[in-house]
Structure 1
Amino acid sequence: MNNLITTQLPTPPHFHSEKVSEVWRVPYQERAAAATAWQKKHNIQPAILDQTRICLLLIDVQNTFCIPGFELFVGGKSGTGAVDDNRRICEFIYHHLGVITKIIPTLDTHTATQIFHPIFWVNQLGEHPIPAVTNISPTDIDQGIWQVNPDVANSITHGDYELLKKHAYHYVKQLSQNGKYPLIVWPYHSMLGGIGHALVASVEEAIFFHSLVRQSPTQFEIKGDNPLTENYSVLRPEVLIGFDENPLAQKNQRLIQQLLEFDAVIIAGQAKSHCVAWTIDDLLTEIQHIDPSLAKKVYLLEDCTSPVVVPGVVDYTEQADAAFARFAAAGMHIIKSTEPMPISS
């Protein structure tokens, strides 16, 4: 094996770690000029010349999850988890500009009337569930504790309320049968067109800089816009088949194939217990179907991801750690962003 990620480039002068927790506009033209100068100064080759192709898959490094005060800030155990993670992600990108071939950020993308948002459900008084503390099970629906809001049927099933109820009940039942998390009613988040949907500015800046230095366009992957299923993983939704046995949604087969063609896939982002874990789990499932030895291509930056922790409410740290232990047992590498990665082409 060759230790390809050992020599580190310096961080460019425009990077300020104290701004990682803030929302601001990236000055694209200034960074473009700096990228050209940086490429020449450090003699960084275009990504197309890479003999060993390395992908950095960044899961949901968006304001909604990563900026304190936003809807679903991932504080982790420390309370500053996502901010610290993103500082390290930025440093990792800058230090390894010369060897990261492609950066693929995922974008959790939602609108208001989706099955995991409060407006989708009502109780007998017509009240919506309290987000972040409400789970909905088949029993809850059977007992009439929660039912589908008839007023959203018009926008989802063209006014067919009975059809929408069948979809929703099937979905919640499938989650329980497939060993998934129960349906969690989340606060409105990652709203398409909103500030929360945008990438964290410092990370966006680093990704933009990379794309110009390496002449390798950033590949954005949208997930989560289906109104009838959650989509923690970028590779597949939580439920694929509807109650009528017709496809409810599709796996991202194109991205699965693309990831497996890289010599190495490095994964970081938010949240370790949810979208990160689910994406890795789905990738591992595909790997085990094709060739279990491919798991050794995958590197998990454990210091660049944090679990969902809401003090006094929920703590998914143990579930996240158990998932990562299972990934390591399958052959994936769990490392820190400051460690050298032995990658062979």
Structure 2
Amino acid sequence: MSTQTNQLPIPPHFHPETVGEVWRVPYQQRASEAEAWAKQHHISPAALDKTRICLLLIDVQNTFCIPGFELFVGGKSGTGAVDDNRRICEFIYHNLGRITKIIPTLDTHTTMQIFHPIFWVNNAGEHPTPAATNITPADIEKGIWQVNPDIANSITNANYELLTKHAYHYVKQLSQDGKYPLTVWPYHSMLGGIGHALVSAVEEAIFFHCVARQSQTQFEIKGNHPLTENYSVLRPEVLQGFDNSPLAHKNTSLIQQLLEFDVVVIAGQAKSHCVAWTIDDLLTEINQIDAGLAKKIYLLEDCTSPVVVPGVVDYTEAADAAFARFAAAGMQIIKSSLLQM
């Protein structure tokens, strides 16, 4: 890997000014153009790649990446995710002939999940304010927040006691494991909704790659379990319930698949949460096998931004500290414009 010298040009259909907008991808037109583009630039099918390169894109969805949507990741600049996705698109097009497979993750939620407002109530029956409320074990012990009894019918077949036991165990486990406390988030990445969809410009680039390289895009769903968060695509925040029974499972097949690539490039949102947690879990798996494998992981530092809500929270330092730790472990931190594969 070295400084980029022989990039492919960017196809004429890409308009960087539309990256922050939602629109329909003209699939059939782009498919025809992708096949013609591959022929014109002598781009071979991905099956012939001698060096197998995976691009793992974390949650490049409207809910995180389009201004005005539920959890737009603005970063320090206020336009973070939009700028990141413009560079992601350019990276895909410039390296179309080198990227073997693209794996986008899709944060996927329904209404009644442990991190959504409807799950919790106070003594007045009011739900917590999203993005401004963290729930700790002490909050539950003091009765500040309790599980909404009206949702037990939908989640635990009307067993409210079971649901409350799990919720307390879950919040306590997060604290014991050194995780972020349970944050009540706005409803976001709702399955079937427009926020769940990939950013249009990125979806178009991924689709173009799929056709040009004859390489099926591999979508990875995460976050759809009602009783646990899933910042990382590789594992949920908590694996066991209060009775030590399995609550959810690691994505062992994806872990194995990623480690079999020669190079894994990672980008997406948000640097402080789902990106950092995914990389951290990947590093844990690497260290259990061979710490030297970390050197084949490349993090595109200009294609990810931290969660920053002015006047409320700023995770920039936490995100930078995580990336510094990943670099110290041997992972490569690099700008997308400088990566030669």
- 1:154 is aligned to 153
What is the CA–CA distance in structure 2 between the aligned matches of 1:4 and 1:304, rounded to whole Å? 17
Amino acid at match of 2:67: P
Amino acid at match of 1:235: L
- 2:308 is aligned to 309
What is the CA–CA distance in structure 1 between the aligned matches of 2:117 and 2:226, rounded to whole Å? 13
Segments of 4+ in structure 1 off by > 4 A?
Answer: 2-5
- TM superposition shift of 1:194: 0.1
The 3-state SS of whatever aligns with 2:267 is: strand
Amino acid at match of 2:87: R
- TM superposition shift of 1:6: 3.8
What is the CA–CA distance in structure 2 between the aligned matches of 1:20 and 1:216, rounded to whole Å? 24
The 3-state SS of whatever aligns with 1:338 is: helix
TM-score normalised by the chain length of structure 2: 0.99
- 2:273 is aligned to 274
The 3-state SS of whatever aligns with 1:209 is: helix
Matched ranges for 1:123-142 at <5 A? 123-142=122-141
The 3-state SS of whatever aligns with 1:43 is: coil
Q: Against the structure 1 CA distance between its residues 275 and 48, is the aligned structure 2 distance closer, same or farther, given a 3 Å change threshold? A: same
Q: Give yes or no for the alignment of 1:32 onto 2:31.
A: yes
Query: Alpha-carbon deviations, 1:127-173, whole Å to 9, x = none?
Result: 00000000000000000000000011011100000000001000000
- TM superposition shift of 1:7: 1.4
- 1:90 is aligned to 89
Matched ranges for 1:99-114 at <5 A? 99-114=98-113
- 1:248 is aligned to 247
TM-score normalised by the chain length of structure 1: 0.98
What is the CA–CA distance in structure 2 between the aligned matches of 1:340 and 1:85, rounded to whole Å? 15
- TM superposition shift of 1:5: 5.6
What is the CA–CA distance in structure 1 between the aligned matches of 2:106 and 2:226, rounded to whole Å? 16
Q: Provide the identity percentage.
A: 81
What is the CA–CA distance in structure 1 between the aligned matches of 2:336 and 2:4, rounded to whole Å? 10
State the Cα RMSD in Å.
0.9
- 1:7 is aligned to 6
- 1:65 is aligned to 64
Q: In the alignment, is the contact (CA less than 8 A) between 2:4 and 2:337 conserved in 1?
A: no
What is the CA–CA distance in structure 1 between the aligned matches of 2:88 and 2:244, rounded to whole Å? 41
- TM superposition shift of 1:213: 0.2
- TM superposition shift of 1:196: 0.1
Amino acid at match of 1:271: A
Amino acid at match of 1:166: K
- TM superposition shift of 1:4: 9.1
* Count of residue pairs the alignment pairs up: 341
What is the CA–CA distance in structure 2 between the aligned matches of 1:6 and 1:295, rounded to whole Å? 25
Q: Give yes or no for the alignment of 1:332 onto 2:331.
A: yes
What is the CA–CA distance in structure 2 between the aligned matches of 1:108 and 1:6, rounded to whole Å? 35
Query: Alpha-carbon deviations, 1:200-237, whole Å to 9, x = none?
Result: 00000000000000000000000000000000000000
